[in-house]
């Protein structure tokens, strides 16, 4: 990956090297400190000439301002600072990173209008910088088209009132950002490089942070009777893996919370093959597993006081002489039989066994699974909300609230016996597809048949995990969706 910027915090000073970024409120005008960096007082005229008004998302650039040794003095619109919420500060950090444009050294002056940026706000700016700076360029062997060989690493100094407190707040956010970037890396990586074996090895690296990692092999899953998961994997040359990660930061007697991820490293559709156009996107069909892995990273790196289990089912859905056929009937670990009417509805087959195993072994306080499960959720919600399905109102409401505060939003979808009926099968206990209607819901009903009474939520992240529109804090195809959302859920309700 492109190198991560380094970030530190310091008291405001008049040091004048590299690039200085000043935040300018929409109605307040230039910050009081502006004159420190603009001894000749040219800034007011310059921003007037640029018609710069401080609107968020806008900036004005002054090159090598006279009387200073700065390379650039950037004035960045902060909008209405009083209206800046948590994700507002994060986005502002993203804007800072964009305005810095690969400069070697950047000082960000956090004195906006009359708003006193807290240490937490300063830390959020820093997190926004990290998230925006991510760029999946490891396979680019040539310089960019402009022959740009400018330094890859930027050192940011955030000038704020209480650098010690900001540094402390940032330590936690940096842990979370690390989880988001790990999830993005996993999703962006092509399937020839990241198969089930390689993904499992990546998860194993979390041991460095104190996470316990077990890897169940195909033979182990065979013994457990995971016929649903293994049926998907049988058309691939690459063996399935089930990875069990445990972070025990809570009290020994406390039951864990559990997260389960769909990890289809590539989804060709199997014998019910997908159309060619856009099939390359199915390298991202492990976005749920990536989010679970990123979340485990985040929780362990910030030493969350909670016991957590993360389980990911890693398979490749391919066509082959050995591949599963439409019409095949498989027996899941739960004992329930499934008629596979469409081999492209494979994610639910993987999750059926992963969820059952998780519930059976850990009796968790809740289970939340994440999966790029259906195209239908994209039709329903587009790319700005994940579909939320749950058997528990409290859990659903908590997830909704975490979505609102982090900006990783969820929208609850209905479930019920009328939908459940749609997956009854003539020949087995259930079939793996419903009809044409309510495709995201029938997929959720299918999963629910493997969770018993445990509080459970399913997040369909097909629209939010990949092919993501660029925004203030992500320029990446893979968004890392879910890590910040679930870290927040855990922090707000299940720690300590
Ligand atoms: N991985 C896909 C869902 C998907 C679609 C994810 C688009 C991301 C973007 C899933 O395995 C799938 O193929 N679902 C089918 C289900 C159908 C066969 C019932 C779908 O949504 O078309
Ligand atoms: Mn599929
Ligand atoms: Zn899939």
Residue 22 to residue 48: CA distance in whole angstroms: 16
Pairing of strands 337-340, 430-431: parallel
Task: State the pLDDT at residue 51.
Answer: 93
* Least confidently predicted of 150-154, 263-267, 461-465: 150-154
Is the model's pLDDT at 76 over the cut of 90?
A: yes
Ligand 1, atom 17: nearest CA belongs to which residue? 345
Ligand 1, atom 13: closest residue by C-alpha: 344
pLDDT of amino acid 66: 86
Pull the structure tokens for residue 61.
């650039």
Torsion, Cα of 204, 209, 211, 217 (10° steps): 0
Please identify, by atom number, the ligand 1 atom nearest to the C-alpha of residue 284. 8
Looking at residue 114, what is its pLDDT?
Answer: 66
Q: Which residues contact 2 (CB under 8 A, 6 or more apart)?
A: 133, 134, 135, 137, 152
Backbone dihedral angles phi then psi of residue 366, each to the nearest 5 degrees: -155, 165
pLDDT band for position 146 (cuts 50, 70, 90): low
Instruction: Look at residue 355 and tell me whether its pLDDT is greater than 60.
Output: yes
pLDDT at 148: 62
Residues 233, 234, 239, 245, Cα dihedral to 10°: 30
488 catalytic residue (yes or no): no
Residue 68 DSSP class = S
- CA 434 to ligand 1: nearest atom: 19
Q: Identify the pLDDT of residue 131.
A: 98
Asked if 231 and 330 touch (Cβ cutoff 8 Å), the reply is yes
Q: What percent of the chain has pLDDT over 70?
A: 97
Residues with CB under 6 A from ligand 1: 267, 285, 342, 344-347, 372-376, 433, 439, 462
Residue 383 has pLDDT above 90, yes or no: yes
- Rounded to whole angstroms, the Cα distance separating 180 from 290 reads 9
- Using CA positions, which residue lies closest to atom 14 of ligand 1? 374
Instruction: Give pLDDT tens digits for 167-222.
Output: 999 999 999 999 999 999 999 999 999 999 999 999 999 999 999 999 999 999 99
pLDDT at 117: 87
Query: What number of CA atoms fall less than 13 Å from residue 150's CA on the CB side?
Result: 11
For residue 220 the two structure tokens come to 């182990």
8: left (phi over 0), alpha (psi -120 to 50) or beta: beta
Cα 386 to averaged position of ligand 1 atoms, centre (Å): 14
Percentage of residues in the chain having pLDDT higher than 90: 87
- Ligand number nearest to the C-alpha of 375: 1
- CA of 176 from ligand 3 middle (Å) equals 27
Cβ contacts of residue 430 below 8 Å, gap of 6+? 336, 337, 338, 339, 423, 424, 446, 449
Instruction: Single out the residue of 85, 108, 114 nearest to residue 26, CA to CA.
Output: 114
Sheet containing 430-431: order of strands: 328-331, 337-340, 430-431
- pLDDT of 1 higher than 60: no
pLDDT of residue 32: 82
User: Which pLDDT value is given to residue 27?
Assistant: 83
CB 311 within 8 A of CB 360: no
Rounded to two decimals, the pTM is 0.97
Ligand 1 pocket test target in 315, 318, 369, 374 with most atoms within 8 Å of CB: 374
Evaluated on CA atoms 243, 247, 253, 257, the torsion sign reads negative
Q: Which of 80, 202, 204, 274 is catalytic?
A: 274
d(CA 422, ligand 1 centre) in Å: 18
3-state secondary structure (DSSP) of residue 270? coil
At 457, is the pLDDT very low, low, confident or very high (cuts 50, 70, 90)? Answer: very high
* 286-337 pLDDT per residue, tens: 999 999 999 999 999 999 999 999 999 999 999 999 999 999 999 999 999 9
What pLDDT is attached to residue 81?
82
393-418: b or e for each residue (b if 16 or more CB lie within 10 Å)? eebbebbeebbeebbbbbebbebeee
Centre of ligand 2 from the C-alpha of residue 418, in Å: 24
Neighbours of ion ligand 3 (CB under 5 A): 264, 267, 285, 347
Of ligand 1's listed atoms, the one at least distance from the Cα of 432 is 19
Structure tokens at 87: 């994700």
Q: Is 124 a catalytic residue?
A: no
Query: 């690459």: which residue's tokens?
Result: 238
Judged against a pLDDT cut of 70, whether residue 151 lies above it is answered with no
Q: Distance, CA 198 to ligand 1 centroid (Å)?
A: 23
Q: In this structure, which residue's CA is closest to atom 22 in ligand 1?
A: 375
Q: Which tokens is 48 given?
A: 């007037």
Q: How far is the CA of 22 from the centre of ligand 3 (A)?
A: 46
pLDDT of res. 216? 99
Which of 167, 302, 348, 491 does the annotation list as catalytic?
Answer: 348
Q: Is the pLDDT of residue 366 over 80?
A: yes
Query: Measuring from atom 3 of ligand 1, which residue has the nearest CA?
Result: 374
The Cα diameter of the chain in Å comes to: 83
Whether the per-residue pLDDT at 103 is higher than 70: the answer is: yes
- Cα–chain-centroid distance for residue 457? 17
Residue where the block lists tokens 């710069």: 52
CA distance 383 to 98: 23
Residue located nearest, by CA, to atom 16 of ligand 1: 345
* Cα–Cα dist 208/190, whole Å: 25
Cα distances (angstroms) measured from residue 406 to each of 283, 383, 484: 26, 16, 7
pLDDT at 435 over 70: yes
User: What would the mean pLDDT of 113-130 be, rounded to a whole number?
Assistant: 91
List, in order, residues 6 or more apart from 447 with CB less than 8 Å away: 348, 351, 352, 355, 369, 389, 458
Which secondary structure element, helix H or strand E, spans residue 329, and what is its range? strand 328-331
| Cα–Cα distance measured from residue 435 to residue 349, given in angstroms and rounded to the nearest whole number | 17
Using the mean position of ligand 2's atoms as its centre, give its distance from the Cα of residue 282 in Å: 8
Q: What is the pLDDT of residue 170?
A: 98
Mean local confidence (pLDDT), 252-275: 98
- Cα(488)–Cα(402) distance, integer angstroms: 6
């Amino acid at each position: 990956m492109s190198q991560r910027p380094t970030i530190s915090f310091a008291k405001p000073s008049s040091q004048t090297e590299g690039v200085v970024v000043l935040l300018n409120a929409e109605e307040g005008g230039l910050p009081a400190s502006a004159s420190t960096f603009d001894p000749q007082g040219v800034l007011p005229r310059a921003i007037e000439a640029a018609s710069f008004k401080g609107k968020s998302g806008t900036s004005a650039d002054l090159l090598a301002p006279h009387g200073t040794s700065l390379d650039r003095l950037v004035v960045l619109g902060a909008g209405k600072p009083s209206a800046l919420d948590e994700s507002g500060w994060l986005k502002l950090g993203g804007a800072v990173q964009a305005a810095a444009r690969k400069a070697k050294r950047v000082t960000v002056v956090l004195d906006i209008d009359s708003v006193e940026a807290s240490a937490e706000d300063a830390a959020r700016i820093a997190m926004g910088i990290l998230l925006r700076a991510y760029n999946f360029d490891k396979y680019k062997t040539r310089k960019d088209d402009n022959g740009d060989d400018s330094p890859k690493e930027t050192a940011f100094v955030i000038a704020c009132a209480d650098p010690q407190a900001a540094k402390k707040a940032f330590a936690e956010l940096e842990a979370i950002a690390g989880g988001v970037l790990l999830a993005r890396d996993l999703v962006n990586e092509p399937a020839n490089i990241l198969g089930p074996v390689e993904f499992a090895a990546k998860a194993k690296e979390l041991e460095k942070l104190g996470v316990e990692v077990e890897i169940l092999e195909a033979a182990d899953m065979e013994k457990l009777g995971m016929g649903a998961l293994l049926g998907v994997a049988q058309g691939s040359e690459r063996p399935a893996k089930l990875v069990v990660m445990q972070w025990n930061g809570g009290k020994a007697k406390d039951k864990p919370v559990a997260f389960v991820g769909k990890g289809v490293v590539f989804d060709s559709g199997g014998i019910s093959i997908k159309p060619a156009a856009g099939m390359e996107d199915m390298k991202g069909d492990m976005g749920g597993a990536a989010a679970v892995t990123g979340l485990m990273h985040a929780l362990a790196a910030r030493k969350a006081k909670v016991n957590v289990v993360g389980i990911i089912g890693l398979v490749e859905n391919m066509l082959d002489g050995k591949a599963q056929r439409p019409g095949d009937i498989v027996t899941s670990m739960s004992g329930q039989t499934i008629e596979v009417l469409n081999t492209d509805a494979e994610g639910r087959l993987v999750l059926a066994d992963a969820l059952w195993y998780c519930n059976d072994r850990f009796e968790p306080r809740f289970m939340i699974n994440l999966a790029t499960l259906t195209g239908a959720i994209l039709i329903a919600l587009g790319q700005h909300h994940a579909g939320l399905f749950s058997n528990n109102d409290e859990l659903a409401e908590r997830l909704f609230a975490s979505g609102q505060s982090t900006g990783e939003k969820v929208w609850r979808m209905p479930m019920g016996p009328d939908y459940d009926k749609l997956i009854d099968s003539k020949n087995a206990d259930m079939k793996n597809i419903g009809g044409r209607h309510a495709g995201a819901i029938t997929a959720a009903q299918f999963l629910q048949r493997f969770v018993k009474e445990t509080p459970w939520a399913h997040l369909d992240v097909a629209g939010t995990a990949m092919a993501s529109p660029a925004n203030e804090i992500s320029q990446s195809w893979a968004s890392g969706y879910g890590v910040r959302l679930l870290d927040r859920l855990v922090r707000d309700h299940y720690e300590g």
